[in-house]
Structure 1
Amino acid sequence: MRIKESELILNPDGSVYHLNLRPENIAETILFVGDQDRVEKITKHFDTIDFKTQKREFKTQTGTYKGKRLTVLSTGIGPDNIDIVLNELDALVNIDLTTRKPKDELTSLNIIRIGTSGSLQSEIPINSFLLNTYGLDLNGMLHFYKIDSICNTKIEEAFIKHTDWKPEKARPILIKNSSELEAQFESDIVFKGVTATAGGFYGPQGRVLRLPLEDDTLNKKIEKFSYQEIKISNFEMETAAIYGLSKLLGHKAISLNAIIANRANGTFSENPGQVIKDLIEYTLDKLIEK
C-alpha cells in the first residue's frame, strides 16, 4: 500500500522531513547521542567524513573509522524525539521513497546510544560505564503502538505492585536490548543494569524544585525494586523508546551510559567530559573488534 504524503513527509530534495537525510547518507551502524555538540566528539576520531547535515537538533555526520562506515546522529532529548528519529531512519532503509511503498527485503540497522546518566544504585560508581540490558519505559509513548510482542508482563506487574504504580499513569513496559550487541559491547569494566526511561528531567525523575511530586517516595521504591536479580540502575530519557521501536521495526539496539552522577550517594563526577570521552573511545574500538 502506498504511504500518503501527509504520513511520510519528504522535503523538496527527497530527504525525510525532520532528519534531512536521504538513504545514501547513512550507514547501517548508527551512533545516537543526545547533544548535537557531542557529534564532533565522536567524528573527530574518524578517518574520513563524507556527509554532514543538520536540521533543528538533528545533526548527522557519516564517515569511516578504521575502515568501518558509521553514522553519528544527535537525537535531542526525550522519547518524543526518539519516535521521530527511529521512524524516519527506518523509512530511509525499509521504504522506497519514490513509490512510497515498504520494501520486500528489509534492512536491520545497528543502533548504539552513547549517553550520560546518573546511577540509582550506590554500587554503580561515578566515572563508570553502564550497559543497559533492559529499558523500563515509564513515559507512555510506546503505548501508541502494538507492543504485546515486546513486553515482559511478569516483571512489569511485579514493578507495578512494588511501586504502587497509579493507574492514571501510563503502564510501565520492560523491553530487552539486542543480545547480539550486548555480547559485542560487554566487558569486565562495564556494569550492567536496567534503565528507567522517564518523559522528563525533573518531576518524572523525582527531582523537586518548586513543584511537589505526586509520589515523593517513588524513587526510593524504584531503587529497591528487584526481580530475579533485575534491578533499576539509572534514570534517563531515551533508552526504552530506542529499544521498543527498534524491536518493533526489526533493528538491533544497545544503550551505553557514562555514569556522571550517583543519586544514591549524592555525588557528581569532577570530570564528566573525560568519562564521556573514554566511553566514546571504548565504543569505537568495540565496533571494529574482530
Structure 2
Amino acid sequence: MSDRDGTEVAGDSEDPNDGEQYHLEVGPDDVADAVLLPGNPERVPKVTQFWNESEEVAHHREYRTVTGRYEGTPISVTSTGIGSPSAAIAVEELARVGADTLVRVGSCGAIQPEMAVGDLVITTGAVRQEGTSDEYVREDYPAAADHEVVSALIAAAERLGYEYHTGITMSADSFYAGQGRPGFGGFEAAGSDQLVDNLRDANVANIEMEASAILTLANVYGLRAGAICTVYANRETGEFRTEGENRAAETATLAVKLLAQMDETKREAGVDQWHAGLSLE
C-alpha cells in the first residue's frame, strides 16, 4: 500500500487499527477521553473559544480535530461533516484511539410549538430514520442517549441559565425530502406532507441528521454518548434564524467537566453508575 504522496508503507487500509486513523488522521495520543462532535468544521473554533487551551491535531476532509483543556479537564472536538455516514466514521475511528464519551453538538429544526429559536434540545433517544445504523443492528434496536451524558447536559444548561428541552430526536438521511421539505422543482417524497405532523403527534422534539447513528454505535461499542442541538428553525411556527449556536457549544463543554466530576465521585464511592444519590458540586 502507498500513502498519499506515493510512498510505500506497511499496513492495510482495510484492516482497522489502533494507530493513526485513515480518515481522521488522529492517533491514541491526540484525543481526550471525551470528544464533542459538531458537524461543520467551521464550528470547531466556536466550541474551543470556551476552553482554556487548545491545539489543532488533525484536519483531513470534513474531519477537524482539536484537543485542549477546560478548567483542567481534558477535552477534544472533532467535526463529523453532514449526515450519519460520516458521523459513523468519526465514532469508529475515535473509539479506536481511546475516546469513550461522545457528545454531538449541532443545530436542529424543532417540531413542537413551544420551542423557540435559540433554545437547546437535549436528546434522550432518537428515531433512526437514517440508514447507517441499520447496517450495524436490526431496525428495532433503540438509539438511546447515555443517562450520565443527559444528566450532565441538563446540569450544565441549568448552571448556564439557558432555555432547554429534553426529548426524542429524529435523525434523517436527507435535509430536504427526508425532513418533509420539497425537493428541486417542488418534488415531494411519498408521505412527506404528513411526516412532520406524524412526528409531532408522537411527541418527537426535533429533527437533525446525525444523533441516532452516534447513539446507536456508542451503545453497540459500550461508549457514553449524547446530543445537544440549538434550535435554528421551528417547523410548526415557521420561525428560522441561525441563533444561539454558542449555547450548545458552551453547554456541552461544561457537561464534559461535569462528567469528569461524576467519574471521580463514582470512583470515590466505589460504584459503576452515576445516580441521584450522589452529589455533584
Question: TM-score normalised to the size of structure 1?
Answer: 0.77
Q: Which amino acid aligns with 1:57?
A: E
2:144 equivalent in structure 1: 176
1:51 CA drift (Å): 4.2
1:283 equivalent in structure 2: 252
CA distance in 2, matches of 1:135, 1:217: 19
Runs of 4+ off more than 4 Å: none
Name stretches of at least 5 consecutive residues in structure 1 with no aligned partner: 94-107, 148-170, 226-230
What CA deviation, in whole Å up to 9, does each residue of 1:230-254 have, x standing for no partner? x211111000000000000110001
Change (3 A) 1:284 1:175: same
CA distance in 1, matches of 2:56, 2:198: 46
Q: Which amino acid aligns with 2:221?
A: L
Report if aligned partners of 1:258, 1:276 keep a CA contact under 8 Å in 2.
yes
Report if aligned partners of 1:134, 1:177 keep a CA contact under 8 Å in 2.
yes
CA distance in 2, matches of 1:143, 1:51: 33
Q: Which amino acid aligns with 2:167?
A: G
1:139 CA drift (Å): 1.6
Q: In the alignment, which of 8, 14, 18 is matched to residue 15 of structure 2?
A: 8
Report if aligned partners of 1:175, 1:240 keep a CA contact under 8 Å in 2.
yes
2:223 equivalent in structure 1: 251
Q: In the alignment, which of 40, 44, 53 is matched to residue 35 of structure 1?
A: 40
Give yes or no for the alignment of 1:192 onto 2:166: yes
* Partner secondary structure for residue 152 of structure 2: helix
Report if aligned partners of 1:177, 1:254 keep a CA contact under 8 Å in 2.
yes
CA distance in 1, matches of 2:130, 2:252: 28
2:236 equivalent in structure 1: 264
* Partner secondary structure for residue 8 of structure 1: coil
| Counterparts of residues 64-103 of structure 1 (less than 5 Å) | 64-93=69-98
Q: Which amino acid aligns with 1:221?
A: N
* Partner secondary structure for residue 121 of structure 1: coil
* Partner secondary structure for residue 45 of structure 1: coil
Change (3 A) 1:6 1:278: closer
Name stretches of at least 5 consecutive residues in structure 2 with no aligned partner: 1-10, 259-280
1:217 equivalent in structure 2: 194
CA RMSD of the aligned region, Å? 2.0
The size of the alignment, in residue pairs, is: 240
CA distance in 2, matches of 1:146, 1:200: 21
CA distance in 2, matches of 1:206, 1:221: 11
* Partner secondary structure for residue 23 of structure 1: coil
1:40 CA drift (Å): 0.8
CA distance in 1, matches of 2:175, 2:255: 30
Identity, in percent, stands at 27
* Partner secondary structure for residue 61 of structure 1: strand
Question: TM-score normalised to the size of structure 2?
Answer: 0.80
Change (3 A) 1:50 1:266: closer
